[in-house]
Amino acid sequence: MRVFLSLGSNRGDRLRLLNQAVDFIQDLPGMKILAMSSVYETQARGVENQRDFLNQVLEVETGMPPLDLLAASKNIEALLGRKPAARWGPRTMDIDILTCGDEVINRKDLVIPHPRLAERRFVLVPLTEIAPDLRVPVWDKTAEELLASCSDKGRVERYHTRQANFRRENR
């Protein structure tokens, strides 16, 4: 099944934590990373008095059922130091399942597609970078169409890494 995951970090060494999350994800049984977006620095939402996030979207192929993938994601978050905290507060790692093929799941513990996907520019920009034509169930729009109609105006800047130097490019 083709799955899209969103990764985000705003505590500690954010870039290192994203890279470690990618390593853990690719080591999951039957998991194959098909594409990775650029890394983006994004303005914190919800609780705004906190450090900016680094975000990235991955496209993966997996046979793992969605609930198992959720459990694996929560385990990776814990391995990378995430502790229970205030909603939308600072975190070392946040992994969200954006889509799982054409599946629509509406459970207390898991909603797919992610219920706030269409309102989050920090997710839609990197998703559109790697899969602009992805048709997202429920909204029945492509990632590109969702981005074009997104009301979120939060800052999302692409990061390019060159050794220890970062160059920012507005998107």
Residue range(s) defining the domain that contains residue 32? 2-161
Confidence of residue 169 (pLDDT cuts 50, 70, 90): very low
| Cis amide bond preceding 113, omega within 30 | yes
Q: What percent of the chain has pLDDT over 70?
A: 88
Q: What stretch of H or E contains 9?
A: strand 2-9
Which positions are catalytic? 82, 91, 94, 96
How far apart are alpha carbons 14 and 20 in whole angstroms?
10
Collapsing DSSP to helix, strand or coil, 15 comes out as helix
Task: State pTM to two decimals.
Answer: 0.91
Q: What pLDDT shows up at residue 167?
A: 34
Task: Read off the pLDDT of each residue in 132-147 and give the average, rounded to a whole number.
Answer: 97
Q: What stretch of H or E contains 67?
A: helix 66-79
Domain assignment present for residue 42? The answer is: yes
- Decide: 143 and 133 in contact? Cβ < 8 Å: yes
Q: What pLDDT shows up at residue 44?
A: 86
Q: What pLDDT shows up at residue 146?
A: 98
Q: What is the pLDDT of residues 31-62, one digit of tens each?
A: 999 999 999 999 887 766 789 999 999 999 99
Count CA within 13 A, CB hemisphere, residue 74. 9
Domain assignment present for residue 166? The answer is: no
Domain assignment present for residue 73? The answer is: yes
Domain harbouring 136, CATH code: 3.30.70.560
Q: What pLDDT shows up at residue 87?
A: 63
